[in-house]
A and B are shown apart, each in its own frame.
Chain A
Amino acid sequence: MAKIIVVTSGKGGVGKTTSSAAIGTGIAMRGFKTVIIDFDIGLRNLDLIMGCERRVVYDFVNVINGEANLKQAMIKDKRIDTLFILPASQTRDKDALSKEGVERILNELAQEFDYIICDSPAGIESGAMMALYFADEAVVVTNPEVSSVRDSDRILGMLSSKSRRAEQGLPGIKEHLLLTRYNPERVLKGEMLSVEDVGEILAIKLLGVIPESQAVLNASNSGTPVILDEDSDAGQAYLDTVARLLGEEVPFRFLNVEKKGLLKRIFGG
């Protein structure tokens, strides 16, 4: 049975799609058959981050409406054999996703895949609700910044009350905190909430900390998930994150200010 993981945040621009692409790719690199679904109807972007934007023919909504089948709509990644992408539609009808339609597609995917990653749109409207409704686990992407933390808390409320698991009285969605755009230097100066601060406020288990990094923009510029840039700090932090998501114990890195010079040159960043 496939595991459904939603990558969500409430607030926009915190790194949901970057994280979905990285985590999905990372899981697939471990040999698990993985599909990443873009739930951001109207504002398709996962295809661009994954570098397959010119290969989109059919999309998620086409499949729901029966205008195409999954095989036609899914894009197989050219780098990793076990990785597929299901792009979002660019229709302006935000309610194009029906709960029944999404459930049918997820059930069909679950027959074939080990992991289904749902890349949620920002906000708390129907697209975001649909992305989290069927989830078994949730990765809550948060920036160390007041509005992002508050929105993450809202989303945590939704996860525990508006999901299928909540409605059916099943054990709740397993919640993970992924802190992105972390800048240890500013934390040390007292200018940025620390990982401990955010953890204390949101009170969920920390899955990973991704440092603010040049590598992320470079990766999106070239359409490569940043986790494939294994020499970069962000790439390594995502590799650690994926390992933890798969149940491994991995110490946290990139939490403290790096000594400039030799170390920095060796590890890049």
Chain B
Amino acid sequence: MSLLDYFRSTKKNTASTAKERLQIIVAHERNRRNSPDYLPQLERDILAVIRKYVDIADDQVSVSLEKSSDELSVLELNVTFPDDKK
């Protein structure tokens, strides 16, 4: 392999794409792993309540529980409302 190839291939290669994708998914899954078992059910329940009023898709609600210290956990709820519906 020539020197030129070396520089060319480091610009955009599949290995760095793989690394970025892995870092994101692994961080996401670790977060889920450390969260309580009831979280997925809580997420479904919240979704059902919101659906009584607004028609939203499954992926428009995200719930995460973050432990910011030993005594304090923050439950974060993100709901994306569709633009065209009130």
Write the residues of chain A forming the contact surface with B, with a CB cutoff of 8 angstroms: 145-146, 149-150, 153-154, 157, 161, 187-194, 197, 200-201
Contact = CB atoms under 8 A, between A and B. Distances in A.
Nearest to A192: B15
Contact of B15 (A150, A157, A190): A190
Nearest to A154: B29
B12 to A, nearest CB: 8
A149 B16 CA distance: 14
A194 B18 CA distance: 11
B13 A146 contact: no
B78 interface: no
Contact of B22 (A146, A161, A187, A191): A146
A161 B21 CA distance: 25
B13 A191 contact: yes
B86 interface: no
A197 B19 contact: yes
A151 B30 CA distance: 12
Interface string B10-27: 100111101101110110
Contacts of B33: 157, 161
B26 A188 contact: no
Given A145-B18, A153-B30, A201-B23, 20 more contacts: A146-B21, A146-B22, A149-B26, A150-B22, A150-B25, A150-B29, A157-B29, A161-B33, A188-B1, A190-B9, A190-B15, A191-B13, A191-B14, A191-B15, A192-B15, A193-B22, A200-B19, A201-B19, A201-B22, A201-B26
A201 B30 CA distance: 11
Q: Which of B1, B6, B9, B33 has the most CB of A within 10 A?
A: B33
Nearest 10 CB-CB pairs, A to B? A190-B13, A190-B9, A197-B19, A157-B33, A190-B15, A153-B26, A146-B18, A201-B22, A189-B9, A193-B15
A149 B15 CA distance: 13
A255 to B, nearest CB: 15
